[in-house]
A and B are shown apart, each in its own frame.
Chain A
């Protein structure tokens, strides 16, 4: 796999690892950007990993474009055979699937949807060949997700499910974007899930809502004390279904600034995962083991 490099004006270098989405492409992007972050090369201002690509912002007065390109190509070579192991963490994110807020907004924008007669969940279940919404939700929360990119807007995670490609849930985006999406909506577009970090426009299908703030400049919850943005590329997320009562209790804790998330350290091995995705993802830690 050879990376395609191309400049975005005089300050950005864009690197396409792969045209198509895959966990190995995402891993390569994270490995190179992770290494770059450690090297602290003068003149590099931003290091932005993405799903199957990455981009850098640099100051060409300090670091000439050609020199940066050469350094990157050397780094690409040197990392080609490195172990694909990631020290990361698994976060359990509670989700009230099929909640009243996303249902209401979905109903309001029905004329922008492929299937105005169905809800987003009914549509997603059908186009993915599930017999019921419940079966679709079971697949959605049945395997963990990899944070393959953070961005679009502040703190929004793109999530790629840790299953074989033929089991990936794929749903087209709305025909034209909504002007409203509730904050903390669980969305889905193409093969990616996301969590809307702020209220606003959006084109992803809406499946549910989490009570957990994931972006908060005021850093009101204990788990946001170190950073106003919860997610980092490489995090692993497991969605945990909750119902109205648990949701309301969680919202109360959020209001008190005392909401807690279950977060576990994980050493993730890409080769071991790829060898047997099903068994590997079930071996990951989580509160579900206690039940």
Chain B
């Protein structure tokens, strides 16, 4: 009654909606980086919307099922195969005992979510099954999956989802190779020279290969210049330094003005670099689906626009629930 990991894939981990209430101790929320796709996969199966799933990154795992169950895969386009036979994503698939599931590398997008009927069954740690690998916390033994790991399934939903049920195309997210992400300027933006603050929004940046669940590092744009200043006591000599402070999830920092870093759900909770803007909550999923070398442009919005986008995002989730409920 378990799933055996034959090959772990590039960076596969157990994730759910994440944990709140421990950020002040340096423990970030974690959880699926693309919350929409994670919820869609669970809802397809009739699971609890936030049941634990596997987040598969760029190259998915190879799994052997020693249990019959249903699965659904949403998010990045990683062609799933059962016993070598290609299968559709965004659809309920039936797995028989002994079946092997694997994936082709992501053709578009960065992260696919594999939900299993009943969810991945693990003890909750601090209110969540999400993996926070840097702190060896939660998930499967506090780490990414490795070959030989054995995953157990939770109790299947009382009513099995009809095999073949699929996510309507209109409810599937697009996976562009370049995208514009909306941000709220603020925090320490006033410390940039005006010409840098303007240029930041005019140039296209590209995703560096040094990007993971902690943060996305960006390259390709003109280095940003901070206003010269006399360093406040304790801040550090570089003009991009501040007295170490908390970092919002989605905040963008620019160490030494060189390469902006967007912090994601496994964020370091604080540090000594000035942040110049924050990705709005509605666009965090979008960032997490960008592959290395893909393009990103920033659009400044105000709080009202951020809240409107938030409402649209919630309306989209509501549509998912209605379509699949």
A-side residues, CB < 8 A to B, are: 6-12, 14, 16, 18-22, 33, 45-55, 57, 60-61, 65, 149-156, 158, 165, 172-173, 189-192, 197-198, 200, 215, 217, 228-229, 232-233
Contacts and interface: CB of A to CB of B under 8 A. Distances in A.
A189 B270 CA distance: 14
Contact of A10 (B21, B23, B125, B303): B303
Nearest to A45: B20
A9 B23 contact: no
B234 A53 contact: no
B176 interface: no
B244 A50 contact: yes
Contacts of B156: none
Contacts of B233: 20-22, 165, 191
B288 to A, nearest CB: 15
Contact of B245 (A52, A198, A200, A215): A52
Interface of B: 20-21, 23-27, 125, 132, 134-137, 142, 183-184, 186-187, 232-237, 242-246, 248-251, 268-272, 275, 278-282, 303, 306-307, 310, 314
Given A6-B186, A198-B136, A16 B235 contact: no
Given A48-B269, A155-B26, A11 B246 contact: no
Given A50-B245, A172-B237, A154 B27 contact: yes
B104 to A, nearest CB: 32
Contacts of A7: 184, 186, 278, 303
Given A10-B306, A232-B25, 10 more contacts: A11-B248, A46-B21, A46-B24, A47-B24, A48-B246, A49-B24, A65-B307, A152-B268, A154-B27, A191-B233
B184 A9 contact: yes
A50 B246 contact: yes
A191 B234 contact: yes
The 3 closest A-B pairs by CB, nearest first: A21-B234, A8-B248, A9-B278
A205 to B, nearest CB: 13
Contacts of A51: 234, 243-245
A154 B26 contact: yes
A151 B26 contact: yes
B25 A150 contact: yes
Contacts of A9: 183-184, 248-251, 278-281, 306
A173 B244 CA distance: 13
